[in-house]
Amino acid sequence: MPSPKAKNNCGRSGSIPGVTSNGRYEFMSLSRSPPPHLLQRQGSDPTSARLRASESPTRRRGSGSSNASSSSATGGQQLPEEDCMRLNPSFVGIALSSLLAIDLWLSKRLGVCACEDSSWGSIRPLMKLVEISGHGIPWLAGALYCLYKSDSAAGQEVMLNLLMALVMDLVLVAVVKAVVRRRRPTHNRMDMFATFSVDRYSFPSGHATRAAMCARFLLAHLVLAAPLRVLVLLWAVLVGFSRVLLGRHNVTDVVFGFGMGYCQYNLVEMLWVSPLGLQLMMGQMG
């Protein structure tokens, strides 16, 4: 016997059963209006009227009176295969809510440097140093400085592309934050320096996207010695961890941020500006 929730989902997500004039069940799509004979029956049939009255307000608001006939018609019977497959979204929903609940719980437990009197509050200054190492301003300033100081065409090319990658990262993160609008954890103290207004939102972590993208950039173009490559990777991981320990982000913000930063580097490679391309661009502008 399907659970009330399952029946509800089946009804909401597609076809709804009704009883035809010859007494057989028929299915119709929610996107189409029910035939008039069914509308009339829903209004007059005392059983379906009783079921409608016992519906929860949410269900009544969400799916209209047609769901009442869904409950009465399926009652105890096996649902057609097509409708059973539509139960899946509710499981996906439950899985997602569980993941979010675990995320909130874990992030709160890991926010051990969220303030000075937290359990690991003594290492908060160290974590804030790590935070600064992944902040946009030192990275933009560093790339600009190296671009200015570089005397080889190859060096200038790499620095110019790093600069563009950093700007693109800021824009993409701002767009996703503005769309998703997930609030920062309640235990976060908003004492970060130089933030944009979208930085009151936490999904995804801008530090994590930058750390992942810059780490890939450094490994591909600048850092060749094996011990330094390990250090770059450790730094990126530490930046991610520090976001959760400081209470700035939930775990999922950082995990998504790492994934997004990793993919952003692919975009940087695709849009790579070569000296020739730059000359052509300059020529077209001049």
For the annotated catalytic residues, the residue numbers are: 207, 249
Please name the residues in contact with 67: beta carbons below 8 A apart, sequence gap of 6 or more.
8, 11, 12, 16, 55, 59
Q: Which two tokens stand for residue 87?
A: 């139960």
Closest contact distance (angstroms) between CB of 177 and ligand RDZ is: 7
Where on the chain is the footprint of ligand RDZ (CB under 6 A)? 135-137, 140, 170, 192, 194-196, 199, 205-207, 243, 248
Question: In the complex with ligand RDZ, which residue's Cβ is closer, 70 or 107?
Answer: 107
- 146 burial class (0-12, 13-18, 19+ CB within 10 angstroms)? middle
Question: In the complex with ligand RDZ, which residue's Cβ is closer, 63 or 209?
Answer: 209
Q: Which residue do the tokens 């810059």 mark?
A: 214
Closest contact distance (angstroms) between CB of 48 and ligand RDZ is: 52
Question: In the complex with ligand RDZ, which residue's Cβ is closer, 154 or 178?
Answer: 178
> Cα–Cα–Cα angle for 223, 229, 235, nearest 5°?
110
For residue 108, give Cα distances in angstroms to 8, 61, 250. 34, 35, 8
Closest contact distance (angstroms) between CB of 231 and ligand RDZ is: 21
Q: Which residue is nearest to ligand RDZ (CB)?
A: 136
For residue 197, give Cα distances in angstroms to 25, 166, 202. 56, 18, 11
CB 10, CB 87: distance < 8 Å: yes
Q: How many CA atoms lie within 13 Å of 187's alpha carbon, on the beta-carbon side?
A: 23
CB burial readout 30-52, b (16+ within 10 A) else e: beeebeeebeebbeebeebeebb
Question: In the complex with ligand RDZ, which residue's Cβ is closer, 161 or 209?
Answer: 209
Closest contact distance (angstroms) between CB of 219 and ligand RDZ is: 21
Closest contact distance (angstroms) between CB of 259 and ligand RDZ is: 14
Question: In the complex with ligand RDZ, which residue's Cβ is closer, 87 or 208?
Answer: 208
CB 216, CB 232: distance < 8 Å: no
Closest contact distance (angstroms) between CB of 264 and ligand RDZ is: 14
Q: Which residue do the tokens 């009704």 mark?
A: 18
Question: In the complex with ligand RDZ, which residue's Cβ is closer, 9 or 188?
Answer: 188
Q: What is the DSSP string of 84-123?
A: HHTTHHHHHHHHHHHHHHHHHHHHHHH-TTSSTTSTTGGG
